[in-house]
A and B are shown apart, each in its own frame.
Chain A
Amino acid sequence: MAEKNQSKPPVLRTHSLGIQFGGLRAVDDFNIEIGESELVGLIGPNGAGKTTVFNLITGVYQPTEGSFYLNGIEMNGKKTYQIVEAGIVRTFQNIRLFRKMTVIDNVKVAMEQKLHYGLPQAVFRTGSFWREEAQLTRYARELLDIVHLSGKENLEAGNLPYGQQRRLEIARALATDMKLLLLDEPAAGMNPIETEELLEIIHFIRNQFKIPVLLIEHDMSLVMNICERIQVLDFGTTIASGTPEEISSNPKVIEAYLGKEEDAPVSEEVRENA
């Protein structure tokens, strides 16, 4: 329905989103707008609340304040699987694969919502069962091809090397009919070659699927390299947002990452001692 709307709302819009854990305000007044096939980076020091934002948008936590919209539809209060159904899908900071299942089954699980056959069709193995399962296998193979994992379909997911596990997680996210992809530190723990490959994949996904990507990342060169817009969080509040150039010269950002100027001599001393 939203597609017919002439003045298209942004794919994701949050309106002063916030959550409070007891006395701690983990995220406060978080506003972001992500348009059609944009690549936005979300950065900030450790504990700034980046993953909490992801958890809010994917329904893991319920926001205590504010609201968020996907293509103009309010998503507050929905369960994780309903939000995935609507089109927001994520990967995890610490890889969460179905480790004891095969690579291809990992992808197929995420396509669950594409299947229509029910329990009786499964038990009697009707035509629709075979048709849908065959289609699922074909589509899953295509996705594995995109993340350069073809030929590994029947390996156990937990036995893949680290970089490939990250890519499989992305393939699993692609398997849902998503409209927005959230990547939580996709390059964490990768070597430079793997990071390079990941960059290629992210570019390919954007070109192929025309979907926006919101990215949390610590690897600054990666963020500065690929993101069109960056938003910086510190202690749960947005301290800056803009293009990579603006961000890299923003004094507040430098302060958040490197500390205030009074601290500077201390850090120099430390460097001398080392």
Chain B
Amino acid sequence: MKKEVLFSYAVNMIAVTALFAVFVLLFETRAFGNSTQYIQGIFTTACYTIIMVTSLNLVVGFMGEFSLGHAGFVSVGAYASAIVSNALAGKGLSDLTLFLVALLAGGIAAGITGVLVGIPALRLRGDYLAIVTVAFAEIIRVAFCNFPITGGGKTISGILKLSTFYRAFWVMVVCVAVMFLFVRSRFGRTVKAIREDYVAAAASGIHVTYYKVLTFTVAAFFAGIGGGLYAHYMTAMIPTNFNFMYSAELLSEVIIGGTGSLTGSILGAAFLSSLPEMMRQFSQYRMLAYSVVLILVMIFRPGGIFGGWEFSLKQLASSLSGKTKSKAVQEKEGM
């Protein structure tokens, strides 16, 4: 069993590297001519959006609670990492180290906020929790509008441009991989059980609050890393960037991609974050298209495009190589 797992890890690793190689080839040969820079930017946007959306899916899809305040954690991560990278700039650290340290700082700051928000808020469930998360995100935004260190409501600019597409890509790969590993361990299993029936979960010996706060914190941590990437790509930001609309956008990307499917979130985020750029010329109509897509998905696929289904190269390969073999593989695929 272990050999098969190692094999599937290797397959996924090769696939990711191959994808990266394709991007490198496209960008280095300037396949898009003059717009290469522009397209690279869109892909970087997609990378950090993927991190934010998959992390939100941990809460919405796996824990089954609506959080409408994810932008709050993103902003904590963005500001914390910007402050750290500004403070450490010119201290002799290489760009890459500085970048990673800043991202980690953003993640940790957001994670701590996640604990602080999670402990009181996660006593609530459903609509009540959703409202409280909105409130917390607003508190964070308003606070950032007033702290001098966060620009006091003005744009802070001059953040180092450390988020290149190549770095963002690998950060995204690592973050998504860690979230996959989280979901496919005792933690994911337990959190899903809480989603299904929290009374039965408690009656099976699960400390419901602990696992909820833990998941919320993990989600906040990755949202913070996403925020760090955002800050070092945009190089300038203002607290009002992270308003309610941003949270709602992330949430709708989770829902369109498929609640409970990380691969759904990846595709949903990649597609929907690049969509506005692709439709630049009709930009005033893009919110219209967005809502139409959302309505259509809700009518025809209430669970999102992917539902709870995960795309897996191994399954694809085995279904291509014949049905008889695929069943044996699937049965052994416990973890």
A→B interface (CB under 8 Å): 58, 60, 79-81, 84-85, 89-90, 92, 96-101, 104-106, 108-110, 112-113, 115, 117, 119, 122-123, 125, 129-130, 133-134, 137, 154, 172-173, 175-176
Contact = CB atoms under 8 A, between A and B. Distances in A.
B206 A92 contact: no
A81 B193 CA distance: 14
Given A101-B193, A130-B2, A80 B202 contact: yes
5 contacts: A81-B208, A100-B308, A117-B186, A122-B185, A123-B182
B328 interface: no
Contacts of A130: 2
B70 interface: no
Given A81-B208, A89-B205, A122-B187, 12 more contacts: A79-B207, A81-B202, A84-B204, A100-B192, A101-B192, A109-B193, A112-B204, A113-B205, A117-B186, A119-B214, A172-B204, A176-B204
B28 interface: no
Given A109-B201, A122-B182, A130-B2, A81 B207 contact: yes
Contacts of A98: 192-193, 196-197, 200-201
A85 B201 CA distance: 13
A111 B181 CA distance: 19
Interface of A is mostly: helix
Given A122-B187, A123-B182, A109 B331 contact: no
B203 interface: yes
A137 B189 CA distance: 13
B199 interface: yes
Contacts of A79: 202, 207
Contacts of B192: 98, 100-101, 105
B45 interface: no
Interface in B291-335: 308, 331, 334-335
Q: In the complex, which of the residues A96, A109, A115 has the most CB atoms of chain B within 10 Å of its own CB atom? A: A109
B133 to A, nearest CB: 23
Nearest to B308: A100
Interface residues of B, number: 29
Interface string B116-148: 000000000000000000000000000000000
Given A98-B192, A98-B193, A112-B190, A129 B185 contact: yes
A81 B187 contact: no
B197 A97 contact: yes
Nearest to B191: A109
A129 B1 CA distance: 14
Contact of A125 (B181, B208, B334): B181
Nearest to B188: A122
Nearest to A178: B205
B331 A96 contact: no
Nearest to B199: A96
A125 B2 CA distance: 11
A85 B182 CA distance: 24
The 5 closest A-B pairs by CB, nearest first: A84-B205, A122-B185, A98-B196, A96-B200, A110-B204
A122 B186 contact: yes
B178 interface: yes
B203 A80 contact: yes
B189 A90 contact: no
Contacts of B335: 133
Q: In the complex, which of the residues A100, A122, A137 has the most CB atoms of chain B within 10 Å of its own CB atom? A: A122
A129 B214 CA distance: 19
B205 A96 contact: no
Contacts of A108: 189
B194 to A, nearest CB: 9
Contact of A123 (B1, B181, B199, B208): B181
Interface in B163-220: 178, 181-182, 185-187, 189-190, 192-193, 196-197, 199-208, 214
Contact of B196 (A99, A119, A129, A175): A99
A119 B210 CA distance: 13
A100 B203 contact: no
Contacts of A101: 189, 192-193, 196
Contacts of B186: 112, 115, 117, 122, 133
Contacts of B308: 100
